[in-house]
Structure 1
Amino acid sequence: MNTNRLSKTLAKALNDQMTKEAHAAQIYLSYAAWADDQGYAGVANFLFRHAHEERNHMMKFLEYILERGAKVIVTAIPAPPSDPSSINNCFEKVFQHEVDNTNAVYNIVNLAHEERDWATFNFMQWFVKEQLEEETLAQTLMDKIKIAGGENAKSDALYALDKDLEKTPDDAKTAEKATEEKP
């Protein structure tokens, strides 16, 4: 008996996103190794944690595809892009990657809506919220680096940023949680 409840199009999109999440983990892993090699242990720790988070996202997609009775297709992932040229460039790349990932998530949401696959539409809402947090976090880091001098940040500012990232929580404060008392 066929138990698949995903269209071929949605199954492919979800499998593709699973691969994107695996690729994201490799990107974060690569950038973390680069940061550690440059002496930025705090930045590296932050990026290593995000590599782990991306692998968890990959597993969420894998498990969902299985739950819906479709076939999981594990494919090769591309190599990570070249190493960043600076801490500023690293977080610019992180931000752009997160924006690209958000667009991929939105495409699946749109597809699920068009196909009236409400289970997948509902499943993807967690990722919509997660991407909002990821983009906000990356933007906040870019703002901190900008204040520190951006591409021209001095070593003492980068040292302080590195120490700050060692302790920075992985989730961002988003607008939906804002109140008049706690903007």
Structure 2
Amino acid sequence: MEYRSLSKKTEELLNQQVAMEAKASAIYLGMASWCERNAFEHSAKFFYLQSDEERMHMLKIFNYLNEVGGQAISPEITDIPQDYESLKNLCESFLNHEVSVTQSINALMSHCYQENDFITINFLQWFATEQREEEMTARRILDFFEVAGDEGVALYMIDQSIGNLATSSEEG
């Protein structure tokens, strides 16, 4: 007899979210490497921390799946970008990726509402709140480019500002 708290479809969708979070971690690791190679050391620190955070998100869902009688599947990660046109382009990619993660979380929650899976909805609420914060941070970074531009000394100042975001997230 199988004892489970979630449907097979919910298990499948949660495993897809595990894969998305793992890929986000790998993408942000690639972004950190690009930043280091291009002398944006403060931005590199920020994206290393983002990579760690996404891995933590992955593990949180992974553990939840196993706790509720599902089977968490370790994802295969491929096709990770390693190069960007500019720091601004990289940060635009960051925002676009965060928006896609938000959309995925919203779709997963919508599915759980249809299934009356309130335990999983409660679990996912933390992720919905987290995504609002992640998108806000990404938009704030892009605002730096709007205010300062994207050349010369402005890039140095933006790199410093992104590094300050990393420091404040470590403290909070």
Per the alignment, residue 99 of structure 1 pairs with 99
- Tell me which protein shows more helix as a share of its residues: 2
1:14 matches 2:14: yes
- The CA RMSD over aligned residues, in Å, is 1.2
Retained in 1: the 8 A contact 2:18–2:75?
no
Q: Distance in 2 between matches of 1:47 and 1:158?
A: 16
1:72 matches 2:72: yes
Q: Distance in 1 between matches of 2:131 and 2:111?
A: 18
Alignment of 1:62-141 (within 5 A): 62-141=62-141
Retained in 1: the 8 A contact 2:22–2:75?
no
* Aligned AA (1:145): F
Per the alignment, residue 157 of structure 1 pairs with 154
How far the C-alpha of 1:82 sits from its partner, in A, is 4.5
Q: Distance in 1 between matches of 2:160 and 2:112?
A: 42
What is the count of residue pairs matched by the alignment?
A: 168
Q: Per-residue displacement from partner, 1:121-162 (whole Å, max 9, x unpaired)?
A: 11110000000000000000001112121xxx2221111111
* Aligned AA (1:141): I
Q: Distance in 1 between matches of 2:75 and 2:54?
A: 16
Q: For 1:167, what is the secondary structure of its paired residue?
A: helix
Alignment gaps of 5+ in structure 2: none
How far the C-alpha of 1:62 sits from its partner, in A, is 0.5
Q: Distance in 2 between matches of 1:135 and 1:170?
A: 14
Q: For 2:6, what is the secondary structure of its paired residue?
A: coil
Q: Distance in 1 between matches of 2:138 and 2:87?
A: 12
How far the C-alpha of 1:165 sits from its partner, in A, is 2.1
Query: What is the TM-score with the length of structure 1 in the denominator?
Result: 0.88
How far the C-alpha of 1:163 sits from its partner, in A, is 1.8
Per the alignment, residue 32 of structure 1 pairs with 32
How far the C-alpha of 1:75 sits from its partner, in A, is 2.5
Q: Per-residue displacement from partner, 1:47-95 (whole Å, max 9, x unpaired)?
A: 0000000000000000100110111122312221252110110110000
Q: Distance in 1 between matches of 2:84 and 2:4?
A: 42
Percent identity among equivalent residues?
A: 35
Per the alignment, residue 142 of structure 2 pairs with 142
Q: Distance in 2 between matches of 1:132 and 1:167?
A: 19
Q: Distance in 2 between matches of 1:62 and 1:72?
A: 5
Q: Distance in 1 between matches of 2:105 and 2:83?
A: 25
Query: What is the TM-score with the length of structure 2 in the denominator?
Result: 0.94
Q: Distance in 2 between matches of 1:93 and 1:170?
A: 20
* Aligned AA (1:159): Y
